[in-house]
Amino acid sequence: MHCRLGAREPIVGGVNQTGTEWKMRLRTALVAAGVAVMAAGAIALGVREAGSQGADAEVFAHRHTSGPLPKLWHAPAFALVDQQGRKITDSSLRGRPFIADFIFTECTSACPTMTSKMVMLERRLASKDIAFVSFSVDSAHDTPEVLAAYEARWNPTETRWSLCATTPSSLAALTAGYRVTTARSADPDAPILHSELFFLVDSEGDVRAVYDSIDPDALTALAIQADALARTAIATPPPPESLYVAMGCAGCHDNAKIAPPLVNLRGSRQTLEGDASVEVDEAYVRRSILEPARDRVAGYTVSMPSYERALDDATLGRLVAEILGRTAADAGPPAAEARIAVDPVCGMKVRVDSEAPHADYQGKPYYFCSSMCRDSFAKAPEKYSSGKSSPAMN
């Protein structure tokens, strides 16, 4: 089984691992689950010709940046129900291209990243007759009603986006047909491990290109190449009343476990990683949108994606003003106070709150990214402790 282990940039979108950390976590979880991980799969399979039978999807990720796109393979047939109760099939999508990915609604790590990127693509391609399809990898939980609530948080006005509920058998057929893998994990913070790829499928149902959702250059290429395949223009929708909603900000910032709430900010002081602080004004909010890794909020291990390529200056100004105008009445659940520690087993940063896996050894506390790292520590604490507790970073 081959899983996506090739993150090169920070995981973004208000989630709680960096790309390297998520890669480590994914590998650790799969190994712990007894799954054979081909960490060198892209190298091993890279000798195969494009379109060869059985090559994993990741082999083709962002290989073609100019010229006509090849037909890699035919996308699988499916018949599913989306968030609006509509029947969505591979046949119903014929006649226009679509962009597809795999997510689940309870994910607090990779999926917010991917969905924020999907929303960016939807906005960038607003005038094109192209569909967007997100297949749920959580057949047990993600009903059409649950998917409808997820859409409402991320992009409720987008009519071209289908979030499809699956069954175990239909999901197995989809992942096999798209040449990706899903796997259950014992980690409650990452219960389902899955591909982080985007797929561009043409109007005849052929997969034309595969893109790493972590790579901003790959997503730029996806937008350009999808635009080229979508020959038919449609009426551009009117500007949204709320950019906070339309840009998918609510998807992360209305969940304090994922990202800091954006309310009552103007004139307040924001505590940053390393115990620095900054007064929140227009310049700070603008900088945080364009350069989110620069001033990371304390208690959150990574920043949201950069919207530098997604917003013109006028739109950015509107979004900054809206964020600064948000009050407590607009807030989601309050954020629990937290600090950042380092998992002594895998080295990843951990948000330390009441839900973080932890253990005590020789009177000192240790915090972990997952129960699996905690269990590894428990088997050989002297190997990982070196006499030190998990160091707080802020």
Spatial separation of the C-alpha atoms in residues 10 and 189, rounded to whole Å = 18
- Residues 310, 350: one domain? no
- Residues 169, 192: one domain? yes
Spatial separation of the C-alpha atoms in residues 76 and 205, rounded to whole Å = 8
Series of mean pLDDT values for 10-residue runs along the chain (394 residues):
30 32 42 33 32 72 76 96 97 97 89 91 93 97 96 92 97 96 78 92 96 90 94 75 82 79 89 86 91 82 74 90 85 58 78 77 84 84 71 50
CA proximity to 388, closest of 320, 351, 353, 341: 341
Residues ≥6 apart with Cβ < 8 Å to 20: 7
The answer to whether residues 364 and 43 touch, using CB atoms and an 8 Å cutoff, is no
**Final residue belonging to a domain, choices 177, 195, 229:** 229
Whole-structure pTM value:
0.69
Q: What is the CATH number of the domain that holds 165?
A: 3.40.30.10
- Residues 213, 361: one domain? no
Structure tokens given for 29 = 């979880």
Domain that holds residue 161: 19-229
How confident is the model at residue 330, as a pLDDT? 67
**Final residue belonging to a domain, choices 284, 305, 330:** 330
- Residues 168, 118: one domain? yes
- Residues 102, 144: one domain? yes
How confident is the model at residue 376, as a pLDDT? 85
List, for residues 181-226, the tens digit of each pLDDT value.
Answer: 998 877 766 788 899 999 999 999 999 999 999 888 899 999 999 9
Answer whether residue 236 is part of any domain.
no
List, for residues 237-294, the tens digit of each pLDDT value.
Answer: 776 778 888 877 887 887 777 788 888 999 999 888 877 889 999 999 999 888 888 8
Give the sign of the dihedral formed by CA 97, CA 102, CA 108, CA 110.
negative
Distances (CA, A) of 336 to 187, 257, 354: 21, 8, 9
- Residues 212, 247: one domain? no
